[in-house]
Amino acid sequence: MRFQLTDEQKALRAVVRDVIGRSSAAGVWGLVAQFPAPLIDRGFWRALGELGVFSLRLPEVDGGAGLGLPEAVLVFEELGWALVPGPLVATHLAAGVVPGAATGETVVAAADGSLVEWLDEADVVLPGAEGAVALRSVDPLTPLHRVPAPGRTDPVAVLLTAAEQLGTAARVCELAVQHARTREQFGQAIGGFQAVKHLCAQSLVRVEVARAAVYAAAVTGDVVDIAAARVLADEAAVRGARDCLQVHGGMGFTWESEVHLHLKRAWVRARRGGGNTESEELLAADLLAGVAWRGACLR
């Protein structure tokens, strides 16, 4: 058993980190400045397309990289980490279906639960957005519309959302630790105080548990594993961002700290597919089906 990243997977992650790290760091704050009507940077979207963010699971004959869910999950974790805006999951799922989605020429939004992200900026909306009403979105980086008829949620969309949440969880843990190491009060770094240190430790524990669940779900592609990944990644992202904000103290409550952007994005993603009720019910039903037990025997 080798449940670890392969060298190729590590290399892929490094490339993605490099490209989006360089392109999006400044971009995020430019976008926040456009609040409440942020625009998608089409050049950056095409750059994501070139990087293979949307096409990587398509067969090579169709212009993809022929990679699988594990690689997609690693890429979406990085996108989440870097707070990359836009309907990333919807466009990824539309690759090979909607012309131009794979290459980043087309921006595709999708009704997910009763919400649509980035409707006004999208070239195509799946399955449609009849009767959509704009919300004043809590997340300055994700414009939202409500739609009357809830859309169906693809398990792959749930998994990739969990991967983004994992990225957020890892990022806010890092931000909390950085702050705890450098901020001094009472003559010492606050990370030396157990009350602060333990918040950081708990944050890391949630990240590592969510990581194991998300990566395993990507390997098995099993819907119950995906539901578990979703529940744990939501928790890791939302609780992690809350604790990160707490560790930052008053600065964490300001607009110019990036902490709130992570928390708000985590909240938006946690609502996808109508929240995690369905995942919890699926996990509960699985207990009676006995599938958990047989599944554990096989793997």
Partner 1 sequence: MDLSYTAQEDEFRARLREWLGKVLPTLPVKPSPDDWPGRRAYDLGWQRMLYDAGYADVHWDASPTTRLIFLEETEKAGAPYVGANFVGLLHAGPTIAAEGTPEQRERWLPPVLRGDEVWCQGFSEPDAGSDLAALRTRAWRDGDDYVVTGSKIWTSHAEVADWCELLVRTDADAPKHRGISWLAMPMSAAGITVRPLRTLAGSAEFAEVFLDEVRVPVGNRVGDENDGWRVTMVTLSFERGTAFVGEVVACRRVLGELAVEARRNGRWDDPVLRRQLGRLNAEFRALWRLTQWNVSEAEASGGVPGVGGSVFKLRYSHARQELYDAAADVLGPDSLDLERAWVLDRLSSLSYTIAAGTSQIQQNIVAERILGLPKGR
Binding site for partner 1 (CB under 8 A): 1-6, 9, 70, 177, 180-181, 188-189, 191-194, 197-198, 200-202, 204-205, 208-213, 215-216, 218-220, 224-225, 227-229, 231-232, 277, 279-288, 290, 292-293, 296-297, 299
For residue 137, the minimal CB distance to partner 1 (Å) is 28
For residue 181, the minimal CB distance to partner 1 (Å) is 6
For residue 177, the minimal CB distance to partner 1 (Å) is 5
Longest CA pairwise span in the chain (Å)? 62
**276 contact partners, CB below 8 Å, separation of at least 6:** 230, 231, 234, 270
Residue whose CB is less far from partner 1, 136 or 194? 194
- The 3 state secondary structure assigned to 134-160 is ECCCCCCCCCEEEEEEEECCCHHHHHH
Residue whose CB is less far from partner 1, 89 or 231? 231
**77 contact partners, CB below 8 Å, separation of at least 6:** 13, 163, 164, 166, 167, 170, 214
Residue whose CB is less far from partner 1, 127 or 192? 192
For residue 152, the minimal CB distance to partner 1 (Å) is 21
The Cα–Cα gap between 90 and 94 comes to 6
For residue 138, the minimal CB distance to partner 1 (Å) is 25
Residue whose CB is less far from partner 1, 145 or 269? 269
For residue 182, the minimal CB distance to partner 1 (Å) is 11
Question: Alpha-carbon torsion 28, 30, 31, 35, what sign?
Answer: positive
Residue whose CB is less far from partner 1, 18 or 184? 184
Long-range CB pairs of 175-182, under 8 A, 24+ apart, other chains included? 175/244, 175/248, 175/258, 175/259, 175/262, 176/200, 176/203, 176/240, 176/243, 176/244, 176/247, 176/248, 179/244, 179/247, 179/248, 180/247
Residue whose CB is less far from partner 1, 121 or 286? 286
